[in-house]
Chain A
Amino acid sequence: MANSMRGLTQFIADIRGARVRELEEKRINKEMANIRKRFKDGNLDGYQKKKYVAKIVFTYILGYKVDIGHMEAVNLISSNKYSEKQIGYLAVTLLMHENSDFLRLVVNSIRKDLDDNNEINNCLALHAIANVGGSEMAEALVEDVHRLLISPTSQTFVKKKAALTLLRLYRKHPDVFPAEEWALRIVAIMDDPDLGVVICVTSLIMAVAQDHLEPYAVCYQKAVDRLHRLVIEHEYSATYAYYKVPSPWLQVKLLRLLQYYPPSDDPTIRSVLHNVLQTVMNNCAEPSRNVQHNNAQHAILFEAISLAIHLDTSSPLVSTAAVLLARFISSKETNVRYLGLDTMAHLAARADSLEPIKKHQGTIILSLRDRDISVRRRALDLLYSMCDIDNSELIVGELLRYLKVADYGLREEMVLKIAILTEKYANSYKWYVDTILELISAAGDHVGDEVWYRVVQIVTNTEDLQLYAAKVVFEYLKGPSTHESLVKVGGYILGEYGHLVANEPGYSPLDQFQLLHAKSQFCGAPTRALLLSTYIKWVNVFPEIKPQLLNVFERYRHVLDSELQQRACEFYALASRPDDDELLQNVCEEMPPFPPRQSALLGRLNKKQGDTEDKRTWVIGGKEANVDHEATKRPTLKMEKLANGSTGGSTGAGANEHINSLVGLDLTLTSSPTQMKAPLLAPHLSLAPPVAVGPNVERWFDKLTYHGEGVLYEDVQIQIGVKSRYHGHIGQLAIYVGNKVSAPLTSFTTTVQVGDPEALSVTFAKMPPTTISSRTQTQLLLHVECKKFFATSPTMTVSFLAGSHQALTIRLPIIITKFFEGVKLGQSEFFERWKLIGGPPRESQAIFPITLNAAGHVDLQKQEQVVSGQGFAILQGVDPNPHNIVAAGVLHTAVDGKVGCLMRLEPNKEAKLSRITVRSTSEDVAGEVQKLVQKPLKAAES
């Protein structure tokens, strides 16, 4: 400890006593020289090393560069005294960075501390890795850290640190982290009773799940369940209440995590989540007097609103949220205003309709004049996001007005945003040109070259605009002070289209020349060069001012700038040729429209996101900035129509392309659309553990195919039983899971995988519990609906923690015959239909061996049991042979309707064989039913 080292305390006191910085530096240099000498002499004991390293660390904290003590810090780490070890680790984490060579030396000491039985040493080691661990450490230590996280003997504080350390290693070196293999085990920790552990593990999962959405999909259910318990059940340890709010950090994290996943399809999860969000919003209805309480509540609320927006922008929750946000943006508290605007920008970025936001346009515009620059920035983002074709003139006008008084730091961004909005939402070209010229004259220095290039391109590509543009730019140039960018635009446009206005009074060639030339003396060489090009064009179209122009070229032939000089010489030569020479005319031909260009935005958007940082769940900008980048390729601009209407089609397309590439200039837009847009993940059976097998498992399953209830699975730890009820295409399954051991099964997780969700839906009636206490049973209720024919049974994956993490997958006895209903038919009716259906392919037939009962007869009773258990009605007196079974049934499906099915079973005692024939109007059904009925009857192969 600092004050157990008198030398250190003295050192600190001396530095504090130093009245001026020079004295402080002098004292530090003296001390460092002393330490360097001591280190060089060597032979220091642990205490001395600790003291000197502590001094070095203190010097470092003051902001001085230190280059000694690394080796001593490394030595201290391997000390067996905690006080020395601690200082050693502190020095390592502060003085070294992840690429430091010294870290190689500590890997082994760190590993030793990770394996130590003393948890405090584990913690020091974990903390060090989390701060300075690089890819080398990741390779060497990731297994040890993972072991600490999952070991049942780890203390909670070790688990927490291990989770975050693992996260660090994952970020530094994702390849060493078997994300999929560890997925279920790590997600299981989200059920830990200690909220601190849950926070840390959620952080870890959040980072890993972004890159591996599917393997971690179970965390969605876990997160919703945890939110439900925190927000609605109020189930948490009292110490985790922060000013009466249950762990706001965890809630925020969980709400954020849910935004990385596409909205769930499961109705149960949806309704639970809806309740949670509703409760969160209601909780904020009454503001409290306590600042911390308010802060925490709002932190959750803002995240909840973001989630609600993510789930469904048209839900009533979002309407409630919009009302709340409207209140926030006019709040007296600056923090709330700030976040209100920020979240509203999120809403604007996603919502289908901007109407609820537009209602508050006035307030938002006022926020541009807020006292706080942070709030002003958010208001700017929001205005940018909420701008559309209807309010663009107003918003752009407002932004232009504000631009003139805006902070310098903000201007550049504003200019780009204005330029983009103007192009995107221009109603008319006139407005576009007016606005951009106004923009250039108002904030010339902050206008990038791209902006004026674009004006030129658009004017060139739009014939109707050229005359107007020439006039307007002329008027702007008349102003007392004009920005260089404006002179460039003016030079280009007047050069190309000056002749269109030259006949009107006040716009004569001479006027144009004098106006432009007067500006040239204030401009740099590139602008002057551009003006020279303008003049040569004028030589072609305005012969009346040729002498003046030649005069200018003549003078520029002697300037020192080589570019200008070369141009002047060439232009002079060109202009001096005889009047009937065609060369000049050919050279100064009017510019053709610009060819379409690949948008810069697309290039940026397509850039792969390869790293492991947290991604934003939305980007600033209108809705279309957020729909996937496929959409940005589509022309989204209203201008296209205008262009097509007024000029040739090719011009229109060209303009449109240019507009797209302006949108791509540079700005926040460049952050790519979220990865969530990846197609919704169909459950992958390959990720679940393999389906449990074994003679018993088969037998239990077979029995359940014709029985409504029975055992599905049993081992030494758990027993799973099933009761089921079906009616038509709807069914209900109650699954009983019993814990047979003397300890509770924690982190109990069940998920159901359906082969083809189009054909069959299986959902939990409510969220399954997460714990099964010792020697008790819990019930899970499943709703089943058959929509179409299906052949594969759904599987259920059950995982739990009982010491170690265990998972097993079981086939559920949901088969097509469960949706059968028996039909009573007479003999003639039966045969009539039988013949109507006909032979293959709508018939399926097989011969299979059977076993005889003890008396040596065919087990008729069992045969009838199986057939009627599978939903058929056995028809008496249809077949002349009493041993044969004839049955009929109808399959009910929600989408494909009813399918009839007839069956005949002919057992033969002598041959110990049986023949089954199934006919159905659907080939699939005939084949499947034949297999299903045959299976429980077939003799085991000997």
Chain B
Amino acid sequence: MIHAVLIFNTSGVPRLTKFYSPLQQSSQVLVKKIFSLISTRPASLCNFLDAPELEECLGRKDKPDEKLRVVYRSYATLHFVFVVDSAESELGILDLIQVFVESLDRAFENVCELDLVFHFDEVHHILGEIIQGGLVLETNVDEIDSQVQVAAQARKTSFASANPLSLGVGSGGVGQRGGGLQTPLGWLTGKLAGVGAR
């Protein structure tokens, strides 16, 4: 199963942390450890990493034999990191990261790091449509997107019914940005789907 999903940027600031098994230590320690493992690896190395170091943070005490592996992929300024056990196919997880990024891109129309910051709840909901309780729920980007839309619609309706005078301001749809400076990732994800992506 998938034990953790993390997104952090190139300076090691976590943008999303989601743990599917109980943590033995503080999440900051874990993020730091993973960041130090990954940030030093040049791009030509493989996307998988055995991580005996993590076992004391994430591993289960009753199952010391379990081998954890880190599968990660980097997009522009963000590292997407999955911690999985031996029941998952490594390449499958790599594909899943791609699906996750494509789904984020779909929901935020050219996703960038800022979206993940300001719409952290939305990011969690999208992740919830892909992975549930550490297992793959859905891998079809269209399907994921339509579920996210349904939820957004429901939120919008409930907001509108509570604030009849709001005239749709802050209607809670997906993909509205607070404005300001942006560092778009989106143009990259397009390319990343093609040749040479990691």
Contacts and interface: CB of A to CB of B under 8 A. Distances in A.
Contact of B121 (A2, A46, A373): A2
A86 B197 contact: no
A247 interface: yes
A686 interface: no
A120 B151 contact: yes
Contact of B63 (A165, A256, A298, A611): A611
B170 A94 contact: no
Interface size class of A (residues with CB under 8 A): 35 or more
Contacts of A594: none
A333 B151 CA distance: 40
Nearest to B22: A97
Given A335-B48, A374-B46, A670-B65, A298 B91 contact: yes
B123 to A, nearest CB: 9
B85 interface: yes
Nearest to B142: A239
Given A3-B176, A337-B46, A611 B90 contact: no
A83 B172 contact: yes
Contacts of B28: 63
B14 interface: yes
A295 interface: yes
Interface string B20-43: 101000111001000000000100
Contacts of A2: 118-122
Interface string A187-206: 00000000110011001000
Contacts of A339: 90-91
Nearest to B15: A61
B95 A63 contact: no
B121 A90 contact: yes
Given A3-B178, A252-B89, A299-B95, A203 B45 contact: no
Contact of A164 (B66, B120, B135): B135
- Chain A interface secondary structure, helix, strand, loop or mixed? helix
Contact of A372 (B46, B117, B197): B46
Interface stretch (A213-221, A285-293, A826-834): A285-293
Contact of A292 (B154, B161, B193): B193
Interface in A659-692: 668, 670-671
A375 interface: yes
Given A3-B118, A3-B176, A374-B49, A249 B44 contact: no
A156 to B, nearest CB: 8
B89 A302 contact: yes
A616 B136 CA distance: 19
A168 B133 contact: yes
A295 B86 contact: no
Given A63-B14, A616-B86, A291 B197 contact: yes
Contacts of B161: 81
A248 B91 CA distance: 10
B140 A54 contact: no
Interface in A1-33: 1-6, 9, 12-13, 16
B150 A120 contact: yes
A409 B120 CA distance: 36
Contacts of A374: 45-46, 48-50
B184 interface: no
B47 interface: yes
B134 to A, nearest CB: 8
B91 A295 contact: yes
Interface string A350-374: 0000000000000000000001111
A565 interface: no
Interface string A310-331: 0000000000000000000000
Interface string A227-265: 000000000000110100001110010001000000000
Given A196-B140, A372-B45, A290 B1 contact: no
B22 A375 contact: no
A249 B92 contact: yes
A43 to B, nearest CB: 18
Contacts of B61: none
B125 interface: yes
A160 B46 contact: no
B133 A54 contact: no
A614 interface: yes
Contacts of B121: 1-2, 54, 57, 86-87, 90
B141 to A, nearest CB: 8
B98 A292 contact: yes
Contacts of A333: 46
Contacts of B136: 199-200, 203, 249
Contacts of A337: 46
Contacts of B45: 334, 371-372, 374
A906 interface: no
A127 interface: yes
B52 interface: yes
Contact of A82 (B18, B22, B157): B157
B73 to A, nearest CB: 10
Contact of B172 (A4, A130, A372): A4
Interface in B167-198: 170-173, 176-178, 193-198
A231 to B, nearest CB: 16
A302 B196 CA distance: 22
B36 to A, nearest CB: 13
A835 interface: no
B155 A127 contact: no
A181 B49 CA distance: 41
Contacts of A820: none
A65 B28 CA distance: 10
B132 interface: yes
A90 B123 CA distance: 11
Nearest to B16: A61
A203 B135 contact: yes
Contacts of A248: 92, 95
A239 B147 CA distance: 15
B50 A291 contact: no
Contacts of B1: 613-614
Nearest to A47: B162
24 contacts: A1-B172, A63-B31, A82-B151, A83-B158, A83-B159, A83-B172, A86-B125, A87-B121, A90-B125, A120-B150, A120-B151, A131-B133, A133-B133, A164-B132, A168-B133, A196-B139, A203-B135, A291-B196, A299-B94, A334-B45, A339-B91, A371-B45, A374-B48, A614-B87
Given A81-B158, A168-B133, 9 more contacts: A1-B172, A81-B161, A84-B158, A120-B150, A127-B128, A199-B138, A249-B136, A335-B48, A373-B49
Interface of B: 1, 14, 16-18, 20, 22, 26-28, 31, 41, 44-50, 52-53, 62-63, 65-67, 85-87, 89-92, 94-96, 98-99, 117-122, 124-125, 128, 132-133, 135-140, 142-143, 147, 150-151, 154-155, 157-159, 161-162, 170-173, 176-178, 193-198
Q: Which 7 A-B pairs have the closest CB atoms?
A: A1-B172, A130-B133, A299-B91, A614-B87, A334-B46, A4-B170, A82-B158
Interface of A: 1-6, 9, 12-13, 16, 46-47, 54, 57-58, 61-63, 65, 81-84, 86-87, 90, 94, 97-98, 120, 123, 126-127, 130-131, 133, 157, 160-161, 164-165, 167-168, 195-196, 199-200, 203, 239-240, 242, 247-249, 252, 256, 289-292, 295-296, 298-299, 302-303, 333-335, 337-339, 371-375, 377, 409, 611, 613-614, 616, 668, 670-671
